[in-house]
């Protein structure tokens, strides 16, 4: 979880975004919570990879928050 400007705990999760280039001009942003990524991360590997989940795991486990697709020149409009 996060903390606010006064160092008090909040219920707002830490969110990571994965950016993917789609085709020649489209960008896709997928958002995931840190807690869910760590929960389903492969602990058998020496190197962790927060985005190593398969599409099936992402949909089945419910870790995926949002997905945005836009032209790469308009990415700044969807900065969240």
Query: What is the pTM (predicted TM-score) of this model?
Result: 0.54
Domain extents in the chain: 15-78
| Structure letter (DSSP) for residue 54 | -
pLDDT in tens, 6-30: 888 888 888 888 888 888 888 888 8
pLDDT bin (cut points 50, 70, 90) of residue 58 is: low
Q: What is the pLDDT of residue 74?
A: 79
pLDDT bin (cut points 50, 70, 90) of residue 56 is: low
Are 30 and 20 within 8 A, CB to CB? Answer: yes
pLDDT in tens, 39-48: 766 555 665 5
Q: Output b/e per residue, 5-27; b: 16+ Cβ within 10 A.
A: eeeeeeeeeeeeeeeeeeeeeeb
């Amino acid at each position: 979880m996060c903390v606010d400007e006064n160092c008090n705990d909040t219920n707002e999760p830490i969110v990571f975004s994965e950016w993917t280039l789609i085709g020649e001009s489209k960008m896709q942003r997928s958002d995931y919570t840190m807690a869910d990524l760590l929960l389903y991360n492969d602990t058998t590997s020496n190197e962790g990879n927060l985005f190593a989940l398969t599409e099936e795991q992402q949909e089945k486990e419910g870790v995926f928050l949002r997905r945005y697709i836009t032209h790469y020149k308009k990415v700044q409009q969807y900065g969240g």
